[in-house]
Amino acid sequence: MRTVLEQSAVNGSATGFMLVKSCEKKVSSKKSPYLDMVLADKGGEIAAKLWDYTPDRHGEFGPGDIVKVKGSVDVWNGAPQLRVERIRSKMSTDPVSVDDLVAGTPIAPQTMLERIHAAINAFENRQLARLVRALVDKAGDAFLQDSAAVRMHHTMRGGLIFHTYSMLRAGGALCDVYPFLNRDLVLGGIIVHDLGKLKEIRYAPTGLATEYTPVGNMTGHLVGGAIDIALTAKELNITDECVVLLEHIVLAHHEVPEFGSPVAPMFPEAQVVATVDKLDAELFEMLGAMSGVEQGACTAKVWGLDRKLYRHGPDTEYRLADPDRKD
């Protein structure tokens, strides 16, 4: 059965159940109230508008709610947008659950966490191992469940650990190619680089990101992550140089001020983390965008990449070469 977004890609209309990721009441230039929403299902997510909104007529909705919608999809500012014609909340008799709508990771989060801990246990720098392990432990179950972003890449449940684990595999492979790299620093930096998102972003019980927190808006996950490293190192009485090196990797992993980094990568391991982060995020976003068009066609302009994409082959599934697969 096609998801709502897969339906819309075929005929421009959409009817079915979706998950509310965000919902904000606004007023149009004509002083008419409307809902500005982001709706999602396993086919992805889409900006949506419900015009001439009144709570008594339409109901009230918030992040994490399941709704049934009917509408049409058009393009606004180069991106698809759903114009909602009818909407209602899920009823108890409706045969749909969060699991039907929320995409999960192709590898079990607990399996990925075990492999991350195995990588930490192999560190030669035991002080760095203590620090990274403590930061992962502090993240707790949220690291297993929560998505990696409000929009853009790895927005599925468990997306944060999946993004981290994908990068860990790629970073380890690069360390094999370039043996001058300090493997502990590369892998340690990868493991902790986005943990600050758990304070930067507000999550629904589903694990999907809904909006940025005040801390996220004012500090962000790079500065917040570096602060957490410093505080945790102080708690553990770790004064090794690895502390400031790890802080730098986190602060530099967006590379340029335009994307939030106050400093550019100043040593090779920091550059590797920044490069692998960008690569993994962009590959995920590219494949997600291309999955909505037929082979031999172009996507609409992808906002996060600022360009159209061409689908040349049938395979657009994002997956990893899992070392435990036997086929």
| Gap between the Cα atoms of 160 and 197, Å rounded | 9
| Average pLDDT score over residue span 74-85 | 82
Domains held by the chain: number: 2
Residue 1: is its pLDDT beyond 50? no
Provide the domain limits for residue 94: 4-101
CA end-to-end span of the chain, whole Å?
27
| Gap between the Cα atoms of 1 and 19, Å rounded | 17
Give me the residue label for tokens 């999602």: 40
Type of residue found at 222: L
Q: Is residue 78 domain-shared with residue 155, that is, in the same domain?
A: no
pLDDT at position 117, please? 97
Give me the residue label for tokens 């690569």: 279
pLDDT at position 5, please? 62
Residue 110 or 12, more confident:
110
Structure token pair of residue 153:
């890449």
Structural domain contains residue 242: yes
Q: Is residue 71 domain-shared with residue 135, that is, in the same domain?
A: no
Residue 116: is its pLDDT beyond 70? yes
Nearest to 160 by CA among 219, 104, 225: 104
Residue 107 or 313, more confident:
107
- Mean pLDDT for the chain? 87
pLDDT at position 324, please? 59
Domain harbouring 265, CATH code: 1.10.3210
| Gap between the Cα atoms of 187 and 269, Å rounded | 9
Structural domain contains residue 278: yes
Q: Is residue 143 domain-shared with residue 71, that is, in the same domain?
A: no
Segment 252-281, tens digit of pLDDT: 999 888 887 899 999 999 999 999 999 998
pLDDT at position 318, please? 61
Structural domain contains residue 309: no
Residue 73 or 291, more confident:
73
Last residue of a domain, one of 101, 122, 139: 101
Structural domain contains residue 253: yes
Residue 9: is its pLDDT beyond 60? no
Segment 159-176, tens digit of pLDDT: 899 999 999 999 999 999
Structural domain contains residue 326: no
Rounded to 10 degrees, what is the CA torsion of 108, 229, 221, 166?
Answer: -30
Q: Is residue 119 domain-shared with residue 174, that is, in the same domain?
A: yes
Residue pair 165/148 in contact (Cβ under 8 Å)? The answer is no
pLDDT at position 327, please? 39
- Count of other CB atoms within 10 angstroms of residue 324: 7
Residue 105, classified by CB atoms within 10 Å of its CB into exposed (0-12), middle (13-18) or buried (19+), is buried
Residue pair 43/5 in contact (Cβ under 8 Å)? The answer is yes
For the packed helices 109-121 and 183-192, what is the interaxial angle rounded to 10 degrees? 150
Structure token pair of residue 100:
């039907």
Last residue of a domain, one of 66, 101, 136: 101
pLDDT at position 128, please? 98
Q: Is residue 231 domain-shared with residue 270, that is, in the same domain?
A: yes
Q: Is residue 42 domain-shared with residue 114, that is, in the same domain?
A: no
Sequence-distant (≥ 6) Cβ neighbours of residue 23 within 8 angstroms: 35, 36, 37, 38, 61, 62, 63, 65
Give me the residue label for tokens 């299902």: 41
Q: Is residue 163 domain-shared with residue 229, that is, in the same domain?
A: yes
Residue 325 or 130, more confident:
130
Residue 138 banded pLDDT, cuts 50, 70, 90 = very high
Structural domain contains residue 317: no
Residue pair 292/299 in contact (Cβ under 8 Å)? The answer is yes
Query: What is the three-class DSSP state of 23?
Result: strand
Q: Is residue 136 domain-shared with residue 259, that is, in the same domain?
A: yes
| Gap between the Cα atoms of 225 and 33, Å rounded | 39
Residue 49: is its pLDDT beyond 50? yes
Q: Is residue 127 domain-shared with residue 79, that is, in the same domain?
A: no
| Average pLDDT score over residue span 192-217 | 84
Structural domain contains residue 141: yes
- Backbone torsions φ then ψ of 138, nearest 5 degrees: -65, -35
Q: What percent of the chain has pLDDT over 90?
A: 46
Structural domain contains residue 118: yes
Residue 152 banded pLDDT, cuts 50, 70, 90 = low
Residue 105: is its pLDDT beyond 90? no
Query: pTM here?
Result: 0.79
Q: Is residue 198 domain-shared with residue 244, that is, in the same domain?
A: yes
Task: Write the DSSP symbol of residue 243.
Answer: H
pLDDT at position 150, please? 67
Domain harbouring 21, CATH code: 2.40.50.140
Residue 110 banded pLDDT, cuts 50, 70, 90 = very high
pLDDT at position 322, please? 63
Residue pair 19/65 in contact (Cβ under 8 Å)? The answer is yes
Q: Is residue 269 domain-shared with residue 151, that is, in the same domain?
A: yes
Residue 194: is its pLDDT beyond 60? yes
Q: Is residue 116 domain-shared with residue 201, that is, in the same domain?
A: yes
Task: Write the DSSP symbol of residue 9.
Answer: H
| Average pLDDT score over residue span 234-263 | 93
